[in-house]
Structures are given as C-alpha cells and as structure tokens.
Amino acid sequence: MLTKRIIPCLDVTLDSAGGTVVKGVEFVDLKRAGDPVELAKRYNEEGADELVFLDITASHERRDTMVDVIERTSDEVFIPLTVGGGISTVGAIRGILRAGADKVTINTAAVKNPELIRESSSIFGSQCIVTAIDCRRNHRIEPGRNIITLEDGSQAWYEVVVYGGRKPTGIDALWWAGEVERLGSGEIMLTSMDRDGTCDGFDLPITRAISEAVNIPIIASGGAGNIEHIYDAFVRGSADAALAASIFHFKVYTVEDVKRYLQERGVPVRFLQ
C-alpha cells in the first residue's frame, strides 16, 4: 500500500523582506507566520514528505513568482518542492524548475488555457505538473451539474474559482478534474475555498468524489485544524496526500505528531530514517 503524504504549505506574499509566509481565511485577513526559508528548513527536519510553496498574490497582482525565494528555499530542503502562483507559460514553468522546484502547480492559467497542461506535461513530464483546483459550493442546482450530497443532507455542485478564489468561472470542479487528468496532469491539488483557513476540517464530499473519479493522486487542501481532520482526509476522503498550514506554522502539531497519530490508526506513512 502506498504511504500517505503530509505536506506543509507555505502561502507566501511579496513584501519589503522579499517574501513572508502568511495564513488567513479564504486567502484574506492574512496573518504573518514566518520566514519561508526558515519554515521550510523546520518542516524538512520534522519529516515532511514534501513542501508546497504558493505565491498566493502573484496571479491577482499579475506578476512573476518569487524566484529568489524559491532558490533560497530549495538550497535548504531535501524533499520534493512544489511551487505555484502566477505561473502561466511553459517558459515560466521552466524557470521555476531551474530555480530548484521539483514540481509546478498551475491553477488560473490552466483554466484560461487548458492546453498549457498538455504542453507542459509533454515537455517536462506529468510528474512535474500539479494542477490546482480551487472550488466553492454552489447550492443553485442546475441541469448538467455533478450534484453532490453534503454532510447535512443538502446538495450542491462545486464551482471552480480562479485568481485566488476571487473569481467564479461557472466550471464544474468534478468535470474539470476529469479534464485535468485527460490533459496529462500528474496530480491534483484540491482546495475547498469554503474551508480554507477555517480549521473546520477538509471538505470531504468533494475530496472523496474527485478521488474516486480520477486515477491520479489527489492532495486535499483547505481546512485542516487538528490531527483527526487529516485522518479523515485519508480514510473518509480517499485523498493521497494532505496539505496543511496553520496547524504547522503556529506549532499546534509537528509533522511527526501527525504521522504518529496516523500510524497508530493504521494509515501508512513514511518516517525519517
């Protein structure tokens, strides 16, 4: 059985210091959480399986991703590093990989130009391309939508949103996940914007629905507030990896705490040798 991955996420914004890790609710009301390089070093030492570095305002501000911070981070960690934010061309992907990233995540650009997934996965390999899907629940039931029953018995479909969750697209997230796989993406990073930063737990209905609908790994993102939430993402949501930020940045738990908990409950995880 494949081990489940624990992935701390560094949400980074550009500031006078060159880059600061922040955390907010639904990508707004951001609070400083620390220096990205120092946090990356800490998570590397704690036994994280991978790291995700997201320049969360690059798309909104229509600027390039912070290559210098990526270079400094990649020099300090020895686990796979995925980078996203403001990446919209094959040339930009090439630059991020050359800066030291192992994978690149594309989101807004992939929605605007789906062929970017096909082209980039063909050039760099599917294993390098992670497509991020940000979505929100939409309770306006319409024909042709993939309707999902929620925990309270109500129903909704999930709408893809772009530009850091600021702009709805009208695209059904479950349909889009299938397209992403067909176009050649190696993984999907799925964020429920309804849960992001809330610490109320992952959005299990959409996580499970997409995990069961595609054959590429799903990284659950948005809402981890305690260890049980991560366990639920794997057992009830069928995710292959869980992304978390607040619980690690503010030292609620260490990566090792999470892995010990999961191991004791029969979830396969990898520890540092």
Residues classed as catalytic? 11, 134
Residue 22's DSSP bridge partners are 32
Q: What is the largest CA-CA distance in the chain?
A: 52
| Residues whose CB is less than 8 angstroms from the CB of residue 273 and which lie 6 or more positions away in sequence, other chains included | none
Radius of gyration of the chain (CA): 17
* Tokens 């990073």 sit on residue: 189
The total of other beta-carbon atoms located within 10 Å of residue 137's CB is 20
Question: What per-residue string of b and e applies to 230-260 under the rule 16 or more CB within 10 Å gives b?
Answer: bbbbbeebbbbbbbbbbbbbeeebbbbebbe
Residue 36 tokens read as: 């990205």
CA 251 to chain centroid, in Å, comes to 20
Q: Of 127, 155, 128, which is closest to residue 141 (Cα–Cα)?
A: 155
Strand partners, 192: 135
**Cβ atoms of 205 and 151 closer than 8 Å:** yes
Residue 181: alpha-carbon gap to chain centroid: 16
